[in-house]
Amino acid sequence: MIATPDRYELNATSRVGLILAGAAFVLAACAGATNPSPRAVIVFALAFPLLWVAFATFISLRTIRGLKILNVDLPERTRALGGFRLRLTLAYDGSFFPAVGILANARFSTDEVEIAGGPWDEIPLLDGGRAAHAEWEVLAKQRGRLYVGPFRAAIELPGSALRATAVFDGVHTVTVLPATFQLEPFADALLSGRHVAEGRYHKTPVATEEYVGAREYRPGDSPKLIHRVLSLRSRDPNELYVREFQDPSRDDLCIVLDTAAPLDGDSSAHQYRLEKAICFVAALCRTFAARRLTVRFVCQRGSRDVLSLRVRPLDAELDRLEVALSQIGLGGDRKVIGRLLHAEVRRHGSAVIFVSLRSREAVEQQRLRVVTLTPDHVPIFTHEVVAR
């Protein structure tokens, strides 16, 4: 990726200083013109500063035009509170004079806040045809999107009347995934007595089931399900394997996230509770995935936008969930979430966990067979340290 500057900015190094030095120069020139007797002294006194300033300014302007971005090294995704290293590679294709004292910085912003100009990093000397790096450590605490750019590179030689800045307008987006809590080991208790243990009544697979793997034969298994190829391959002639089938539409449990603003507290308290709930949900899904459970995640994103994700215990699907979680806001409606909860309870029985933003469990939820976790419950299952 090679990017040339989209525009150049020229600023006086010091307007007052330039006016002052200019006035002194004019005064010295006038004085020299009225009494031109030691001509060599006057010419030298006037020519030196003029040539010095002109040369330094010319070099600054000339070298800034030779700069270009060779590469911007940053991750596509990062985790909140995790941080990443940003590396900007600048190349200089001028051959007239080496670029001296290049300063580079970048703009960092999210949807709400921004650092208009990050800290300047210096590249002391860059010869023609060479490249060099400027590096920063960036830590994003807020989940969502982090925009990096535009980048700026500035040159200001001592004595130059102008500070020349090359602006590269390209903006890079980094998805900031929610940080995940480190859950206490007893988080498994959320599942105890809640998971429906269904017996298998049919001995042969039904039409909705799919082959999921093979296991050793247990007494009672249908002989029709014996996996002949695997059984013949086994060394022990008495060792048999059977094929296993599972209904792909059946999930082990469901997690419903509350996205409706609670009635108590102010907006910052609501936002804080949502952040905490999202991170808790992410951690919970990872914990259940480690136990090979399939989780159905449901939440309301907007007025007519309900997100329903089936998260199997695969890294790719957990990543997909976290990307979705990084974009969720307080866009839910209490009635819609109530209806969603009812639907999930009908579907899953008691294997539903509702992560609520309300400080107390609502009366209508108390009648449902769900585990309701209020913001007060979340710290019980969570370590102080945040997993990175």
Partner 1 sequence: MIDWFRRADPAFYDKERFVLQAEAQVPRYSEEAQAESRLAVLREDRVFQVALAIVALALVLAAGFHAFAAAAAVAGLVAFLFEREARSRPQLATWTILAVVLLTFAYAFAFEPATLAARVPLELAAEALAYLGVCTVAGRIRRAELLARPEGLVSLPQSIVPLLDRSHHHAIICWRE
Instruction: Report residue 175: phi and psi, to 5°.
Output: -80, 120
**Nearest distance, CB of residue 215 and partner 1, angstroms:** 39
Token pair of 56 as six digits: 């330094």
Work out whether 139 is an interface residue with partner 1 (CB under 8 A): yes
- State the nearest-atom distance from the C-beta of 358 to partner 1, in Å: 12
Q: How many residues bind partner 1 (CB under 8 A)?
A: 81
Q: Is the peptide bond before 150 cis (omega within 30 degrees of 0)?
A: yes
DSSP 8-state class, residue 261: P
**375 interacts with partner 1 by CB under 8 A:** yes
Please state the closest distance from residue 84 (CB atom) to partner 1, in A. Answer: 11
Of 85 and 339, nearer to partner 1 (C-beta) is: 85
- Answer for which of 3, 9, 18, 70 binds partner 1 (CB under 8 A) is 18
Among 14, 173, 234, 249, binds partner 1 (CB under 8 A): 14
Is residue 32 a contact residue for partner 1 (CB under 8 A)?
A: yes
Rounded Cα distance between 170 and 148, Å, is 9
The interface region with partner 1, picked from 136-144, 204-212, 250-258, 325-333 by CB under 8 A, is 136-144
Q: What are phi and psi of 197, to 5 degrees?
A: -95, 100
Residue 342 CA to residue 202 CA, distance in Å, equals 29
3-class secondary-structure state, position 340: helix
Residue 30 has φ and ψ, to the nearest 5°, of -65, -45
Nearer to partner 1, 141 or 339 (CB): 141
Q: Which of 140, 293, 295, 355 binds partner 1 (CB under 8 A)?
A: 140
330 near partner 1, judged by CB under 8 A: no
Residue 25 interacts with partner 1 (CB under 8 A): yes or no: yes
Q: Work out which of 170, 248, 329, 379 binds partner 1, going by CB under 8 A.
A: 379
> Which residues from 165-204 bind partner 1, rule CB under 8 A?
178-179, 181
For residues 261 and 330, the answer to whether their CB atoms sit within 8 Å is yes
Instruction: State yes or no: residue 30 binds partner 1 (CB under 8 A).
Output: yes
Check residue 382 for interaction with partner 1 (CB under 8 A).
yes
Beta carbon of residue 204, minimum distance to partner 1 (angstroms, whole number): 44
| Contact of 276 with 286, CB cutoff 8 Å | no
Residues between 232 and 261 that touch partner 1 (CB under 8 A): none
Which of 4, 7, 10, 27 lies at the binding interface for partner 1 (CB under 8 A)? 27
Contact between 122 and 158 under an 8 Å Cβ cutoff? The reply is: no
Select 119 or 248, whichever has its Cβ closest to partner 1. 119
State the nearest-atom distance from the C-beta of 43 to partner 1, in Å.
Answer: 10
Residues in region 66-125 near partner 1 by CB under 8 A: 80-81, 85-86, 101, 103, 108-110, 112-115, 117-122
Among 6, 7, 10, 24, binds partner 1 (CB under 8 A): 24
DSSP state of 56: H
* 5 within 8 A of 168, measured Cβ to Cβ: yes
Question: Cβ neighbours of residue 375 under 8 Å, at least 6 residues apart?
Answer: 273, 276, 277, 356, 357, 359
> Residue from 276, 286, 296, 358 that binds partner 1 (CB under 8 A)?
276
Would residue 285 be called left, alpha or beta, if left means φ above 0 and alpha means ψ between -120 and 50 degrees?
A: alpha
Closest CA to 79 of 220, 4, 177, 198: 177
